[in-house]
């Protein structure tokens, strides 16, 4: 009986599977996980550059999908809705990590030798060695150097192959802004990679 339900679910569109989940068919959740897990890994890895964090984010995204299942409306594609959740989670995790990367140790004011100092935790979002010989690594490193607004649109467009409309919906920006950010991101990537070459040559 259960196998029959699962087989039926596998033949449905993403949106129909989601409707089943909304109606209480728990097996629909596994189908959604199966369809989106690799896409989300590929997307979120460009944010975290760390497999463990990426996996946590993907799991959290799916749990949020389940918890907010009743707020999904069929006017949006399911994939767009899931990417929006994933992007928001990635952004908040990134901000949290940035805050955590600077650990401040407060000084004891009564002790003249105890001055306040700050430790930068270099293990977070660690870059590979500056001079990469492999163009893939150069590109991945350059991607991590882009600012958040540029990185999210170029990953969604050039890696995830989403349409401009979908990207506009996911990022909550106008389509014109999306297009211009993609162009500027590509130019900036070109410049960053150029800098690596320059610093490697001289």
Smallest separation (angstroms) from other proteins to the CB of 118: 33
Residue from 112, 135, 172, 202 that binds other proteins (CB under 8 A)?
135
Residue 67 contacts other proteins per CB under 8 A: yes
In terms of CB distance, is 168 or 182 closer to other proteins? Answer: 182
Residue 183 contacts other proteins per CB under 8 A: yes
Residue 54 contacts other proteins per CB under 8 A: yes
Q: How far is CA 2 from CA 5, 6, 15, 97, 180, in A?
A: 5, 6, 20, 42, 49
Residue from 109, 111, 136, 172 that binds other proteins (CB under 8 A)?
136
Estimate to the nearest angstrom the gap between the alpha carbon of 161 and the chain centroid: 14
**Residue span binding other proteins (CB under 8 A) among the ranges 62-70, 71-79, 114-122, 168-176:** 62-70
**Residue span binding other proteins (CB under 8 A) among the ranges 10-18, 98-106, 107-115, 188-196:** 188-196
In terms of CB distance, is 106 or 133 closer to other proteins? Answer: 133
Question: With CB under 8 A, what is the number of residues at the site for other proteins?
Answer: 41
Separation CA 176–CA 166 (nearest Å):
13
Smallest separation (angstroms) from other proteins to the CB of 2: 15
The residues, any chain, with a CB within 8 Å of residue 30's CB and separated by 6 or more, are 6
Binding stretches for other proteins (CB under 8 A): 26, 29-30, 33, 37-38, 41-42, 45, 51, 54-55, 58-59, 62-63, 66-67, 133, 135-136, 138-140, 143, 154-155, 157-159, 161, 183, 186-187, 189-190, 193-194, 197, 200-201
């Amino acid at each position: 009986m259960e196998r029959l339900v699962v087989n039926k679910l596998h033949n449905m569109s993403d949106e129909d599977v989601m409707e089943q989940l909304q109606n209480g068919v728990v097996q629909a959740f596994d189908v959604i996980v199966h369809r989106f897990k690799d896409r989300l890994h590929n997307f979120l890895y460009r944010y975290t550059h760390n497999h463990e964090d990426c996996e946590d984010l993907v799991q959290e995204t799916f749990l949020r999908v389940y918890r907010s299942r009743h707020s999904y409306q069929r006017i949006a594609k399911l994939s767009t809705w899931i990417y929006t959740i994933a992007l928001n989670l990635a952004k908040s995790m990134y901000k949290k990590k940035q805050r955590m990367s600077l650990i401040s140790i407060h000084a004891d004011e009564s002790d003249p030798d105890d001055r306040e100092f700050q430790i930068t935790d270099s293990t977070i979002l660690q870059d590979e060695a500056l001079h990469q010989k492999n163009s893939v690594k150069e590109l991945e490193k350059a991607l991590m150097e882009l600012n958040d607004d540029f990185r999210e649109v170029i990953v969604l467009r050039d890696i995830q192959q989403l349409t401009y409309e979908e990207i506009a919906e996911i990022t909550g920006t106008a389509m014109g802004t999306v297009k211009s950010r993609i162009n500027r991101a590509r130019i900036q990537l070109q410049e960053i990679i150029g800098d690596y070459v320059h610093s490697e040559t001289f």
